[in-house]
């Protein structure tokens, strides 16, 4: 009981410390550690993913509290699609049930969340594609928090898709090869990224103790700040979240200069 009280007091003090500081405009979240958490807790992978979805809802509430306007969650990578079919099916089942529940329960309306799915959505089952499209439609008028949901997402593939889209448009305009090469600039490619209308993430948090990006927003993260947390995603605490924000606020951003 005393430990819990001290924890809450410290959390409140930390929140009061950072609430007046600079917040990320765009927060990236690599939600790692579902299966390891489930294994250590004696749970099935499915239950680990369900707990992870509940944690995502909780973290979005924390973001809303700090008025962070954009968040990108990475729920399923292109590489993950090559895992055991039962495991992939468990992740997709959780996505297929969680996203509609967020809209039905009023969670997205309450926080003003607009959902947008990013990734190779055509690789997903039709039912999951339909769920994501319906969520996008149901939340398109919300304007307080843009939520990019990475499903079937990979940073390398995103860059390939962006270059492919640039070339396709150039071919449609019947540009000459020299024009295509001259026009292939950073800004030209960025125009075709999945998150083309978002600022690059200011802060990327990865849970589970792994210190790598694993392909998350490779183009956009060139000048992002990073925070690596040992907690598995289902066990990620508000205190961990606030520490990440405080760490971000304490850094001097140079953007390569």
Q: Which residues are catalytic?
A: 32, 80
CA 6 to centroid of chain Cα atoms: 31
**What are the residue ranges of helices labelled H in the chain?**
2-18, 34-41, 45-65, 85-104, 107-111, 126-139, 155-172, 177-183, 186-190, 238-249
Tokens of 84: 């055991």
Phi, psi values for residue 33, rounded to 5°: 110, 10
Which of 224, 162, 241 minimizes the C-alpha distance to 25?
224
CA 233 to centroid of chain Cα atoms: 13
For residue 194, the number of C-alpha atoms closer than 13 Å in the C-beta half-sphere is 27
Cβ neighbors of 173 (< 8 A, separation 6 or more) are none
For residue 208, the number of C-alpha atoms closer than 13 Å in the C-beta half-sphere is 19
SS3 26: strand
Alpha carbon distance 83, 35 (integer Å): 12
């Amino acid at each position: 009981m005393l430990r819990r009280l001290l924890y809450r007091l410290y959390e409140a003090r930390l929140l009061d410390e950072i609430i007046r500081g600079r917040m990320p405009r765009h927060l990236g979240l690599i939600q790692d550690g579902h299966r390891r958490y489930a294994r250590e807790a004696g749970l099935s992978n499915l239950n680990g993913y369900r707990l992870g979805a509940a944690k995502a809802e909780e973290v979005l509430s924390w973001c809303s509290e700090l008025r962070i306007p954009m968040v990108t969650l990475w729920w399923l990578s292109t590489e993950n699609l090559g895992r055991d079919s039962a495991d992939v099916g468990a992740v997709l089942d959780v996505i297929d049930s969680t996203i509609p529940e967020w809209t039905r329960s009023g969670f997205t309306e309450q926080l003003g969340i607009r959902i947008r799915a990013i990734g190779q959505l055509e690789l997903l089952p039709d039912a999951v594609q339909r769920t994501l499209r319906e969520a996008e439609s149901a939340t398109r008028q919300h304007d307080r928090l843009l939520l990019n949901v990475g499903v079937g997402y990979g940073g390398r593939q995103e860059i390939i898709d962006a270059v492919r889209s640039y070339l396709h448009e150039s071919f449609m305009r019947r540009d000459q090869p020299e024009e295509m090469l001259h026009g292939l600039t950073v800004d030209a490619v960025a125009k075709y990224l999945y998150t083309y209308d978002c600022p690059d993430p200011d802060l990327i948090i990865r849970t589970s103790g792994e210190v790598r990006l694993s392909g998350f927003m490779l183009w956009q993260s060139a000048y992002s700040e990073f925070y690596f947390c040992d907690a598995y995603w289902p066990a990620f605490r508000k205190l961990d979240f606030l520490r990440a924000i405080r760490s971000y606020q304490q850094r001097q951003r140079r953007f390569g200069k």
